[in-house]
Amino acid sequence: MSTSEQRPLGERRGKRGVFRTKSVEQSIRDTEEPEHALKKSLTALDLTVFGVGVVIGTGIFVLTGKVAKENAGPSVALAFVLGGIVCGLAALCYAEFASTVPVAGSAYTFSYASLGELPAWIIGWDLILELALGCAVVSVGWSGYIQSLMDNVGWHLPVALQGTHEGRFGFDLLACILVLVLTSILVLGMKLSSRVTAVVVAVKVTVVLIVIIVGAFFITGSNYEPFIPKSQGTTAGSDIQAPLIQLMFGFSPSNFGIMGIFSAAAVVFFAFIGFDIVATAAEETRNPQRDVPRGILGSLAICTLLYVAVSVVVTGMQKYTELSTDAPLADAFKATGHPFWAGLISFGAAVGLTTVCMILLLGQSRVFFAMSRDGLLPRIFSRVHPKYGTPYRSTILLGVVVAVLAGFTSIDVLAELVNIGTLFAFVVVALGVVILRRTRPDLPRAFRTPLVPVVPILSVLASLWLMLNLTAETWLRFAVWMVVGVVVYFVYGRQHSRVP
């Protein structure tokens, strides 16, 4: 009997060529190779903390006021509910895949098992871009908060080391140092990383709860009137800076009113980005079939609840038309005569962003590690540290690259690329759930997405709608990165793939 005939039926269904699939069984066997096996040390609580740590960032400290003032008024709370629902649809798909294929790589690994090698490469290439730029952007935001706090006590960095701002070129020393320090922590082990994250997340969530509890005493009922302000039309754009949906269909979304809530949901959705990072740690979880779905869904539920509560409080403290767009929570406390709480919020925002950076670095290194273990990237980067059990080579490489990128990056140019990359991953994972249900119905699934294919289809449609609301320029940059990725695949990845 031939080798192929001896394999389980599920392992003989893969296609050949660029759409060859990697069986779930083979993916799991690869995790058992001593030199390429990650250390299992995480629990459901660790994963939930990771999820909350990466999602609760600048979104809760900035977007709440910005979107209330510009898009929805007090009904921004409903926009956060809608954003949570859209992410919830994707989370259900991620939870099934992560419990079925508990292997590092998240959407990349899921795509390899369902859609094939080339689609998997494309999504992996996409995730590397998304997570690298995301970490760079957040580290620059963190640097801005720290520089502001330093200015308050009379400490000032040289202008050349403050970063690139408003056309002035410079190197952001603080952002670079943050990334390098966090890279070192990740190399030293996942358990250490989870402990550091747990402490910082505790501080961050405490600050958020203080905002909710203390702010509730300063709410004025009249600030909620009208809860859904009268609709206001917006002018349709016609250049590359306009949303793609405007250029394609001439559709121009409105602000305020019922449609304004949906427009706001498209914006606040990006405050939820990051919960999918939990899936990248599946291979390092003691009981992934049970704990990864709990971590994904639990962190998303906690973050949605906190977002809604904060938005209700901030729009009750100050009239939505008077909210600031730079630091709405802190400024709302200043407006009510409480500068101490405003300072505490700024401190919480700065501390909280450190965990966002760390977990984005974590996710990126695990995707890179998984692609390297499959041979699509040089195998040297899939070796794990003999003592710490971490993919130290890929972590160090990417940490240095992101540190340099953070030193020279400009937030405005790169932020939307993170968003389109995440939404693209959501689409691929949702489609993968449907396909794997049909091609491998025999696989044990500890968590099953309900109402398949309805929930995955709704997830795809919701993600595509939000992608269409991004600018044509963002789509163009994304397309260029994808073309580069396809070239790299055919030049190197296809020739070195370990899947026959």
8 A C-beta contact, residue 113 and residue 106: no
What string of DSSP letters covers 246-276? HHHH---PPBSHHHHHHHHHHHHGGGSTTGG
Question: What is the structure's pLDDT at 183?
Answer: 93
Rounded distance, CA 80 to CA 180, Å? 34
8 A C-beta contact, residue 430 and residue 464: no
pLDDT at residue 413 greater than cutoff 80: no
pLDDT, tens digit, 9 for 90 and up, residues 5-26 = 334 434 444 445 788 999 888 8
CA distances from 257 to 35, 67, 68, 223, 232 (A): 58, 13, 12, 16, 7
Q: Give the distance from CA 500 to its chain's centroid.
A: 32
Instruction: Report the range of poorest mean pLDDT among 141-145, 255-259, 423-427.
Output: 141-145
pLDDT, tens digit, 9 for 90 and up, residues 331-354 = 788 888 887 887 787 777 777 788
Enter the pTM of the model.
Answer: 0.82
pLDDT, tens digit, 9 for 90 and up, residues 161-219 = 776 665 667 788 898 999 999 999 889 877 777 788 888 888 888 888 988 999 999 89
In this prediction, residues 250-266 reach a mean pLDDT of: 78
pLDDT, tens digit, 9 for 90 and up, residues 354-412 = 888 888 898 889 899 999 999 999 999 988 888 888 889 999 999 999 999 888 876 55
Burial 373-393 (b: 16+ CB within 10 A, else e): bbbbbeeebbbbeeebbbbbb
Question: What is the structure's pLDDT at 396?
Answer: 94
Instruction: Report the range of poorest mean pLDDT among 233-242, 318-327, 349-358.
Output: 233-242
The residue type found at 248 is: M
pLDDT at residue 59 greater than cutoff 50: yes
Name the helix (H) or strand (E) containing 225: none
Query: Per DSSP, what are the bridge partners of residue 42?
Result: 285
CA angle 69, 469, 114 (to 5 degrees): 130
Supply the angle between the helices 190-216 and 173-187 in degrees, to the nearest 10.
130
Higher-confidence residue of 408 and 487: namely 487
Rounded distance, CA 282 to CA 292, Å? 6
Rounded distance, CA 498 to CA 134, Å? 30
Rounded distance, CA 12 to CA 113, Å? 12
The residue type found at 371 is: M
Higher-confidence residue of 126 and 154: namely 126
C-alpha neighbours within 13 Å on the C-beta side of residue 332:
35
Question: What is the structure's pLDDT at 414?
Answer: 58
Question: What is the structure's pLDDT at 234?
Answer: 64
pLDDT, tens digit, 9 for 90 and up, residues 301-319 = 999 999 999 999 989 999 9
Q: Give the distance from CA 257 to its chain's centroid.
A: 29
Rounded distance, CA 177 to CA 190, Å? 20
Question: What is the structure's pLDDT at 2?
Answer: 38
8 A C-beta contact, residue 145 and residue 376: no
Question: What is the structure's pLDDT at 5?
Answer: 37
- Residues of the chain above pLDDT 70, percent: 90
**ω before 226 within 30° of 0 (cis)?**
yes
Rounded distance, CA 91 to CA 433, Å? 12
Q: CATH classification of 25-226+254-467 is 3.60.15.10, yes or no?
A: no
pLDDT at residue 70 greater than cutoff 80: yes
pLDDT, tens digit, 9 for 90 and up, residues 423-432 = 888 999 999 9
Average pLDDT, the chain: 83
8 A C-beta contact, residue 304 and residue 80: yes
In the chain, domain spans = 25-226+254-467
3-state SS class at 395: helix
Question: What is the structure's pLDDT at 368?
Answer: 92
Question: What is the structure's pLDDT at 181?
Answer: 93
Instruction: Report the range of poorest mean pLDDT among 62-76, 243-257, 317-331, 439-453.
Output: 243-257
